[in-house]
Amino acid sequence: MEAYLRPAVIGVMIFVVFNLLIVASAILVLAERKIMGFMQQRYGPYLVGPHGMLQPIADILKLVFKEELRPKGADKLLFTLAPILSIVTAFVAFATVPFGAETTFFGLLDEPIKLGIADINVGVLVIFAVTSMGVYGIVLAGWSSNSKYSLFGGLRASAQMISYELSYATALAAVLILPNVPSLSLRDVVDAQAGYFSGWLSVVPHWFVFLQPVGFIIYVIAGVAETNRAPFDFPEAEQELVAGYNTEYSSVRFALFPQAEYINMVTMSAVATDLYLGGWHGPFLPVEYGWIWFLVKVGIILFTYIWVRWTVPRYRYDQLMKFGWKWLFPAAVLNLIATAALVLYFNA
Amino acid sequence: MIPLSHYLILSATLFAIGGAGVFLRKNLITILLSVEIMLNAVNLTFVAFGRYAGNLDGQIITFFVMTVAAAEAAVGLALVIALFRHRESLNPDAFTSLKW
Amino acid sequence: MPETVVFYLFAGLAVGASALVIGQRNPMYSVLLLIASFGALSGLYVLLDAPFVAVAQIIIYAGAIMVLFLFVVMLLNAPKEDAAEWDRTHPLRVPGVARWGTLLAGLLIVQLAMALTAIRDLGAPVGSRTDALTVSSVSDLGRVLFTRHTFAFEATSILILVAMVGAVVLARRESEQ
C-alpha cells in the first residue's frame, strides 16, 4: 500500500499541474480582457456568466466548433506539427519549475515529497534549452503556411526570440554566481533565498532581487520579448502583419498558439519568482504552505505583464532588435561582470 | 549497465551514415548536415570514453567540439548563401569553373 | 534493465533519424529529422552521466545551429530535388551510387567497430572503472575547464569571434558601387 502511495501522489500532482496550466491560460485570457477593459475605462466582457467570468468557456467552444482550414500549398505535416511543438515545449518548460517546499501532505506520506514535477540538477539550463526549442513552433508555422504574411511573421518572431535569449541567459547566469547557490537546480536557488539579511537590514528578506536589481529588470524585459508579448509583439500585431505566423490557422490549431504563449508567460513568471523573488518563501505562512506565496508572486508578475501590454506602445521591429542587441545584452554582460567582481571582493 | 562497445558501435554507425551523406548527396545543405552528424558521432565517442575512464576529459573535449562545430556551421552556411547568390543552384556539380 | 531499454530506444532513434536525414529529398525535413537525432543523442549523454553535455547539446546544436540551418533553408528556398530535371530517380537510387556507396558505408561501419572494439577490456560496462565520479556537476566541469584548459577556452572564444565576423562578411550582399 505504501509503495503505491508515492507514485499515486506524484501522478495526482502531475495531473493537477497539467490541468492548472490549461485553466491558467483560460483565466489569463479572461484576466487580460477584463484588465484591459478596466484600464480603458470600460467593463470588458460582461454578458457570459456573472460579470463575464465564463467568457473563456464561450471562447473555447467557439474555437472548437470552427472549421479546420488548411491552405492549399501548405506542407501537411509541418502545418500540424508546428502548434504541437509550441504547446509541448510550453508544457515541458514548466515541468522543471519547482513551486513549493517539501511536504508530506499532513503526514500522508512517510518521506516528504518535493512539490515540483521534476527536479533536475541542471534545471536552469533545461529551462533555457526548452525555451530555445520553442522557436521551432513559430518558425515552422510561418514557413509551412505558404503565405507571405506568415513567413515574415514567423521569421521576425524567431529572430526576436533568439536575440533576446542571450540577454535572458546572461541575466540568469549572474544569479548563479551569487554565494549561497550550490548548484544549477532551481530548487537550490530558491533555498538559497530563505531567511533574512543580517544586521540592520533584518526586515528585508534574502531575495535575490535585492542583490541583483538590474538583473531582475533585464530578465523580465527579456522574458517579455521571449514570449512575444507587448511591447515586443510586432510579429503578431494586428495592424502590421495581419496576424503574423498564425494567419492561416483556424480552430484548434489556432487555439494552441495563444495557449502556448500564455503558458510560456506563466513559466517565465514562475522562473522569475524562483530566481529573484524568493520562490515560495514568505513572511507569515509556514514553509509547507509556501505554494500560496508562490501563486501570489506569479500572479503579481502576470498582472505586470498584462499591465505593461496595455500601457506602452509597441516597438517597431528594427527598434526592437536594436534594443535587444545594443542595449540589453551589453547591460546583461556588465551586470554579470559587476556581480562576479563584487562576489570576489566580498568573499575574498 | 551498458558495455562500452555498444556506444562505440553506435557512434561508428552514426559516423558512417554521416560520411555516406557527405559523399552521396548532391545538395550543399545536406552535405553540411552530414558533417554535423559526423561531429556528433565523435562527441558521443569522447563522452563514452570519458565516462569509461572515470574523468571529465571527455566532456571537456565535447565542449570544444561543439563550439568549433557551431563556428564551422555558421561560416559554411554563409558560404552556401554567397555561392547560391552567384549560381542559383545548391548542387556542388554546378561549381566547376576552377576545373581545367 | 530500464537502462538497456532506454539505450536501445535512443540509439535506434538516433540511427533511424540520421539515416532518414541523408535519404530525404526535402532539406526542411532533413533539418527536422536531424533535430530529432540530436535529441536522442542528448538522451544518451544523460545515460552516460553527463547532464551538462546533454543540455548543452540541446541548447547549442538543436537550439542554435539547427535554427541557423532552418533559416538558411528558408532564405534560399532550397529546391526539393537535387537530381537533374529530366532525371526523376531519387539521388540515392542511382545504380552505381546505391550499390557501391551503401557497400562502402557498411564496410566503414564494420571496420570502425572492429578497430574500436579491438582494445581489450572493453566489455566492461561504462562507469564500472570508478565509483568516485558519479554524476558530474557543472562546478567540477567549470573548475577543470577554467584552470587546466584556459588557453583552449580563450582560443575558442577568439575562434567564435572570427566565425561571427566572417559569416556576416561572407553573407552580405555586394553593395552597389
pLDDT score, position C100: 77
Put simply, the answer to whether A151 touches C71 (Cβ < 8 Å) is no
- CATH (domain of B8): 1.10.287.3510
Q: Is C141 on the interface with A (CB under 8 A)?
A: no
Distance of CA C61 to the CA centre of its chain: 8
Band (C145; pLDDT cuts 50, 70, 90) = confident
Band (C177; pLDDT cuts 50, 70, 90) = very low
Best mutation target among B8, B13, B86 (most C Cβ atoms within 10 Å) is B13
Least confident of B51-60, C41-50, C97-106, C143-152: C97-106
What is the total count of domains within chain B? 1
Residue range of the domain that includes B58 = 4-90
Min Cα distance C29 → chain B (Å) is 11
- Please choose, from the candidates A261, A236, A124, the residue with its C-alpha nearest in 3D space to the C-alpha of residue A189: A124
Cell representation of residue C114 = 572492429
Could you tell me if C130 and B54 are in contact, meaning their C-beta atoms sit under 8 angstroms apart? yes
Long-range contacts of residues A199-203, Cβ cutoff 8 Å, at least 24 apart: none
Put simply, the answer to whether A122 touches C55 (Cβ < 8 Å) is yes
Q: Is B86 on the interface with C (CB under 8 A)?
A: no
| DSSP 8-state secondary structure symbol assigned to residue C25 | S
* Chains in contact with B via at least 3 Cβ–Cβ pairs below 8 Å: C
Asked whether residue B97 is domain-assigned, the answer is no
* Residue in chain B nearest C92 by alpha carbon: B24
pLDDT score, position A222: 92
pLDDT score, position A69: 79
In chain C, residues with a C-beta closer than 8 Å to the C-beta of B10 are 11, 14-15, 44
Q: Is C2 on the interface with B (CB under 8 A)?
A: no
Report for A285-289, C78-82, C108-112, C147-151: range of highest mean pLDDT: C147-151
Of chain B residues 17-56, which have a CB less than 8 A from chain C?
17-21, 23-27, 29-30, 32-34, 36-37, 40, 43-45, 47-48, 50-56
Average of pLDDT values for C90-113?
A: 74
* Residue in chain C nearest B88 by alpha carbon: C76
Q: What is the dihedral of CA C136, C140, C144, C146, to 10 degrees?
A: 130
What is the distance between the alpha carbons of residues A257 and A250, in angstroms, rounded to a whole number?
Answer: 10
pLDDT tens, per residue, chain A with 348 residues: 667 888 888 888 899 999 999 999 989 988 888 888 888 888 888 888 887 788 888 888 888 888 877 777 777 888 888 889 999 999 999 988 988 887 777 667 777 778 888 888 888 899 999 988 988 888 888 888 877 777 878 888 888 888 899 899 999 999 988 888 888 888 888 888 887 777 666 777 888 888 889 999 999 999 998 888 778 877 766 555 556 666 677 778 888 888 898 999 999 999 999 999 988 887 777 777 888 889 999 999 999 999 998 888 888 888 889 999 999 999 999 999 999 999 999 886
- DSSP string across A138-199: HHHHHHHTT-HHHHHHHHHHHHHHHHHHHHHHHHHHHHHTSTT--SS-HHHHHHTT-SB-SG
Give the SS3 label for residue C175. Answer: coil
C/A touch flag: 3 or more CB pairs below 8 Å: yes
The pLDDT tens digits for A127-179 are 999 988 988 888 888 888 877 777 878 888 888 888 899 899 999 999 988 88
Least confident of A60-64, A132-136, C125-129, C164-168: C125-129
Nearest neighbour of A143 by CB, restricted to C52, C67, C74: C74
Asked whether residue B99 is domain-assigned, the answer is no
The pLDDT tens digits for B29-72 are 999 999 999 999 999 999 998 888 878 888 899 999 999 999 99
In chain A, residues with a C-beta closer than 8 Å to the C-beta of C74 are 139, 143, 151, 155
Asked whether residue B95 is domain-assigned, the answer is no
Put simply, the answer to whether C97 touches B71 (Cβ < 8 Å) is no
In chain C, residues with a C-beta closer than 8 Å to the C-beta of A120 are 51
Predicted model pTM: 0.87
Who has greater pLDDT, B26 or A110?
A: B26
Band (C77; pLDDT cuts 50, 70, 90) = confident
Nearest neighbour of C126 by CB, restricted to B21, B51, B71: B51
